[in-house]
Amino acid sequence: MREVVLPVIGTVAAWREEARALARAGVPAEAVVWRVGAGAGDLFAGAPPAVSAPGRAPKLPRAAVEAIETALCHRDPERFARAYALVLRLSAGAVRWADRSDPAVRRILAQAKAVQRDIHKMHAFVRFREIPPVGPRRAFAAWFEPGHPIVEAAAPFFARRFGDMDWVIATPAVTARFVGGVLGFVETAPGARPPEDATEELWRVYYASIFNPARLMVKAMQAEMPKRYWRNLPEARLIPGLIREAPRRADAMRAAPPTEPPARRAMAARAMAARPAPAADADALAALRAEASGCTRCPLHRPATRTVFGEGPATAALMFVGEQPGDREDLAGRPFVGPAGALFDAALAAAGIGRSEVYVTNAVKHFKFAPHGRRRLHRSPERGEVEACRWWLDRERRLIRPRLIVAMGATACAALTGTGAGLLRRRGGVERTAEGTPVFVTLHPAAILRQPDPVRRAEERGRFLADLAAARALLERLGGHAATGAPA
Ligand code: URA
């Protein structure tokens, strides 16, 4: 009997090498015992290595190799033995990879799927806290407890996404470290969980503000965010209390007399009191809109149907800025009425923000496109076009004087803060315009719609919603209101 001890770091690559050598040496599956050992250096504890054996290395279809190697990240202790046995059967022609009635093939596929799902969850649920930097780059740390040993498979995503900062993701067994642009792994030191800081508090505010007791669906919530991930999420600490409180809060909501008209009146009164001469604002805004309808400040006005100016009350405390009108907006003459607008509207409603309470506009007021047969394909505006159109955005801002602006996407960010770079890193943060108005940064809804993977798309949608809920909570802290008046 051969005992193969695989290292904790680089387990899959080590298994691949050993499985290849064992198969070449003709070692049957039943003759090998596999295990992972902390600090394993000598791979073959119980027998001499088989690497010098002469035979042919097994040849498998690419899809089989991918699924098997993904399944090797499953927590099943028998995974190495099962994978090796299947490799031998596949290479001997005893089973075909396409044969989905074979229990071993089916099990590998199911395990690979579970691993993929866990990787997606890790990508969505890791929460970084800023820590003191050791070099010139900002530094972040996160603690995460995945369902399977997936850190090495999941970490390259973070390296791509947060390539301009140093970070550490510690899990109970393995820690991923990205320092100076180099990704590496070490066995986790005891006590690696980073301390809490204000970022967690912010997450708790997000989560509490989007929670609606009347719509509590514990099963759906657990399916989307399985319980084993709760302990890694600062906001999840609220869940048991929110669930306990939900029936009482929902009863109270049902029993309460309808509050919408008085609440809306009170809100309107507050907004009116806070703003001198709102009627004059509305007139001035209408005049600005009329002026912009003849805009020729850049060449984009020529092919576009019309200027798509912002819309919403002149007294709005909350302003949303997108990139530029799309095909549908260009035809309708209104911002955010196409597919991105549908996602935006749904997120506003879920965050309890009334679209009629907020001002919605774009950084660029004309649709930029390239004709493609009968279709007009969106083209991103260039810096000069954004700069030319800032003339209108700045005047909209000065007239409306919102308490908070939400920048959706890099173009809006560039028009409001001077740069659109590093959006993913800045997302969820609050910056300022040159005049000092707070700008909450989030993604553009169209970027979420473009996400090809449905699981990631759903996750991004959830994050966008959480961003809008956080923006609403921030607005309320700043003394402004944009609520629908009805619970979200
Ligand atoms: N995308 C935008 O940025 N604005 C719109 O109005 C529609 C889509």
Say how many Å lie between the CA of residue 170 and the centre of ligand 1: 39
Q: Residues lining ligand 1, CB < 6 A?
A: 322-326, 329, 335-336, 338, 340-341, 362, 446
| pLDDT at position 13 | 94
Residue 14 lies in a domain: yes
Helix ranges restricted to H, 126-227:
151-161, 198-210, 218-224
User: Which pair of tokens denotes residue 323?
Assistant: 């990139």
Lowest-pLDDT range of 45-49, 289-293, 372-376: 45-49
Centroid of chain to Cα 257: 38
The last residue of one of the domains, among 103, 121, 139, is 121
> For residue 356, how far is its CA from the centre of ligand 1 (angstroms)?
17
Most confident of 122-126, 201-205, 412-416: 412-416
Looking at residue 186, what is its pLDDT?
86
With CA atoms as reference, report the closest residue to 307 among 222, 367, 369: 367
State residue 195 phi and psi, 5-degree precision: -70, 155
The stretch 317-325 carries a mean pLDDT of: 98
Closest CA to 409 of 318, 324, 338: 324
114 and 140 in a single domain? The answer is no
Among residues 187, 207, 228, which one ends one of the domains? Answer: 187
CA of 339 from ligand 1 middle (Å) equals 9
The answer to whether residue 325 is domain-embedded is yes
Question: Which ligand 1 atom lies nearest to the CA of residue 360?
Answer: 6
> What percent of the chain clears pLDDT 90, i.e. is strictly above it?
58
| Statement to judge: residues 448 and 327 lie in one domain | yes
Atom of ligand 1 nearest to the CA of 408: 3
Q: Is the pLDDT of residue 423 over 60?
A: yes
Instruction: With respect to residue 329, please indicate whether it lies within any of the assigned structural domains.
Output: yes
CA 39 to each of CA 9, 11, 17, 153, 188: distance values in angstroms, whole numbers, following the listed order:
9, 11, 18, 20, 12
pLDDT, mean of residues 194-221: 53
254-264 mean pLDDT = 50
Is residue 300 in some structural domain?
yes
Q: Does residue 244 register a pLDDT over 90?
A: no
Query: Does one domain contain both 177 and 212?
Result: no
**pLDDT confidence tier of residue 229, bands split at 50, 70 and 90:** low
Maximum CA pair distance of the chain? Answer: 90
CA of 211 relative to ligand 1 center, distance in Å = 28
378 CA to middle of ligand 1, Å? Answer: 10
- Which residues does residue 371 pair with via DSSP β-bridges, in sequence order? 376
Q: With respect to residue 193, please indicate whether it lies within any of the assigned structural domains.
A: no
What pLDDT, on the 0 to 100 scale, is given for residue 282?
A: 84
Ligand 1 centroid to Cα of residue 344, in Å, is 10
pLDDT, residue 167, reads: 87
**Whether residue 336 is found in the same domain as residue 379:** yes
Across 158-176, average pLDDT: 87
User: Ligand 1, from 327, 336, 337, 348: best to mutate by most atoms within 8 Å of Cβ?
Assistant: 336
3-state secondary structure of 322: strand
285 Cβ neighbours under 8 A, 6+ residues apart: 314, 396, 399, 400
Is there a single domain that holds both residue 295 and residue 342? yes
**Ligand 1 pocket check: which of 308, 323, 344 to mutate, most ligand atoms within 8 Å of Cβ?**
323
Lowest-confidence segment of 266-275, 368-377, 444-453 by average pLDDT: 266-275
pLDDT given at position 182: 87
Mean pLDDT over the full length of the chain: 83
- Provide the pLDDT for residue 483: 78
- Asked whether 303 and 379 are in contact (CB, 8 A), the reply is no
473 and 388 within one domain: yes
pLDDT for 437 beyond 90: yes
The H-assigned helical ranges of 25-148 are: 62-71, 79-91, 103-125
Q: Are residues 154 and 297 in the same domain?
A: no
Name the nearest CA neighbour of 463 among 475, 447, 487, 479. 447
For residue 322, the ligand 1 atom closest to its alpha carbon is: 3
Q: Are residues 100 and 171 in the same domain?
A: no
Q: Of 83, 98, 121, which marks where a domain is finished?
A: 121
CA separation, residue 43 to residues 4, 18, 70, 303, 378 (Å): 5, 8, 21, 67, 55
Number of domains in the chain: 4
Which of the listed residues 329, 376, 406, 443 should we mutate to test ligand 1's pocket, taking the one with most ligand atoms within 8 A of CB? Answer: 329
Nearest ligand 1 atom, CA 323: 3
Atom of ligand 1 nearest to the CA of 308: 6
pTM above 0.75, yes or no: no
Q: What is the distance in A from the centroid of ligand 1 to the CA of 341?
A: 7
**92 and 210, same domain (yes or no):** no
- 154 and 227 inside one domain: no
Note whether 173 and 189 are within 8 A (CB): no
Q: Is the pLDDT of residue 44 over 60?
A: no
**362 Cα–ligand 1 center, Å:** 7
The pLDDT of 352-379, averaged and rounded, is 94
Q: What is the pLDDT of residue 47?
A: 43
Does residue 173 belong to any structural domain of this protein? yes
Instruction: Look at residue 275 and tell me if it is in a domain.
Output: no
Asked whether residue 394 falls in the same domain as residue 373, the answer is yes
Query: Does one domain contain both 323 and 383?
Result: yes
**Between 132 and 191, where is the model more confident?**
132
The answer as to whether 485 is a domain residue is no
For residue 312, what is the DSSP state? S
C-alpha 295 – ligand 1 centre gap (Å):
18
Q: Which ligand 1 atom lies nearest to the CA of residue 412? A: 3
- pLDDT of residue 125 exceeding 50, the answer is yes
pLDDT at 314: 94
What's the confidence (pLDDT) of residue 251? 66
* Contacting residues for 339 by C-beta, under 8 A, at least 6 apart: 326, 328, 446, 449
Which range marks the domain in which residue 62 is found? 2-121
Please say if the pLDDT value at position 26 is more than 60: yes
Lowest mean pLDDT among 257-266, 317-326, 373-382: 257-266
Q: Which of 182-191, 231-240, 261-270, 408-417 has the lowest mean pLDDT?
A: 261-270
